[in-house]
Amino acid sequence: RRPGTPRGHRYRLGVMGGTFDPIHHGHLVAASEVASRFGLDEVVFVPTGVPWQKKHRDVSTAEDRYLMTTIATASNPRFTVSRVDIERGGDTYTVDTLKDLRAERGDDVDLFFITGADALAQILTWRGADELFELAHFVGVTRPGVELHSPAVGHLPPDKITLMEVPALAISSTACRARTQEGEPIWYLVPDGIVQYIAKRGLYAHPGDPSDAS
Ligand code: ATP
Ligand code: MG
């Protein structure tokens, strides 16, 4: 039990896993909406180690993604960032993320794993899928262009999953990277501090471009 937590209250911890390359307002709105709906005490953002689904492209370093996640969440007292997936190294599997958080936070914590509709649809293909639903409740949120009630989701245990509509933000990290590479703005798609961090570090620039445009 955490200091200040009333006896009998189980601490409600949201878990938002992602590559966060970069983190954008779609991630932040999803976390905020689920926190409000489920009365979460905290949402921990967990940047992945090496994302095994994304080996076909160069992913920014774990430290850049960790720092961007920290910058973007700093102003919200209920948002935190965990390094468990980064420290474990290697491929990140959600089952490991949840086990590590459970070990770190203790048994009187309820975990709520927050995921967009696209990631939720793939859940059955994740390693350890059978164990996942014993570790956490899963909350799938709407994402523009993705069917929330996909056939795959119909096969998941209904008492372990909540599907939830959130304000639609047609933002993806892929589009943010492409826009940066093309010299198009990403202002207002990501927090101001992230625009500045990307420029400062020269992330997503065309190879050979001068790293700092400003
Ligand atoms: P990429 O384009 O590189 O895959 P992404 O925008 O999908 O990036 P991820 O880091 O892959 O971001 O996503 C982390 C989690 O956030 C996933 O569960 C994903 O479904 C969810 N998510 C991302 N963008 C949105 C959005 N605009 N609305 C709702 N959920 C989102
Ligand atoms: Mg994605």
Q: Which residue has 């770190």 as its token pair?
A: 104
Question: Which of 172, 181, 190 best tests ligand 1's pocket when mutated (most atoms within 8 Å of CB)?
Answer: 172
In angstroms, what is the span from residue 9 Cα to ligand 1's centroid? 31
pLDDT of residue 208: 62
- Closest ligand, as measured to the CA of 116: 1
Q: Higher confidence at residue 208 or residue 211?
A: 208
Nearest atom of ligand 1 to the alpha carbon of 175:
2
In angstroms, what is the span from residue 196 Cα to ligand 2's centroid? 22
Residue nearest to atom 19 of ligand 1 (CA): 116
CATH fit for domain 11-169, picks 3.40.50.620, 3.40.50.300, 3.10.310.10, 3.90.1150.10: 3.40.50.620
Q: Phi first, then psi: give them for residue 154, nearest 5 degrees.
A: -60, -20
Which of 102-111, 120-129, 133-142 has the weakest average pLDDT? 120-129
Amino acid at residue number 172: S
Residue nearest to atom 22 of ligand 1 (CA): 116
Start-to-end CA distance of the chain, whole Å, equals 48
Which of 48-52, 85-89, 129-133, 190-194 has the weakest average pLDDT? 48-52
Pocket of ligand 1 (CB under 6 A): 18-21, 26-27, 30, 115-116, 118-119, 141, 143, 169, 171-174
Which of 85-89, 126-130, 134-138, 176-180 has the weakest average pLDDT? 126-130
The CA distance from 65 to 169, in Å, is 21
pLDDT of residue 210: 56
pLDDT digits (tens, 9 = 90+) for 75-123: 999 999 999 999 998 888 899 999 999 999 999 999 999 999 999 888 7
In angstroms, what is the span from residue 146 Cα to ligand 2's centroid? 12
Which of 49-53, 151-155, 191-195 has the weakest average pLDDT? 49-53
Is 2's pLDDT higher than 60? no
Count of all residues that appear for the chain in the document: 214
Residue nearest to atom 30 of ligand 1 (CA): 116
In angstroms, what is the span from residue 18 Cα to ligand 1's centroid? 7
Nearest atom of ligand 1 to the alpha carbon of 115:
18
- Residues 150-175 have a mean pLDDT of 90
Q: Phi first, then psi: give them for residue 54, nearest 5 degrees.
A: -120, 25
The CA distance from 62 to 64, in Å, is 6
- Residues 8-22 have a mean pLDDT of 94
pLDDT of residue 130: 80
Indicate the SS3 state at residue 78: coil
Residue nearest to atom 12 of ligand 1 (CA): 173
Tokens of 127: 């390693």
Which of 15-19, 57-61, 189-193 has the weakest average pLDDT? 57-61
Compute the mean pLDDT over every residue in the chain, rounded to the nearest whole number.
90
pLDDT of residue 157: 85
Residue nearest to atom 13 of ligand 1 (CA): 18
The CA distance from 109 to 107, in Å, is 5
Band (212; pLDDT cuts 50, 70, 90): very low
Interface predicted TM-score (ipTM) of this complex, two decimals? 0.99
pLDDT of residue 50: 73
- Closest ligand, as measured to the CA of 20: 1
Is 51's pLDDT higher than 70? no
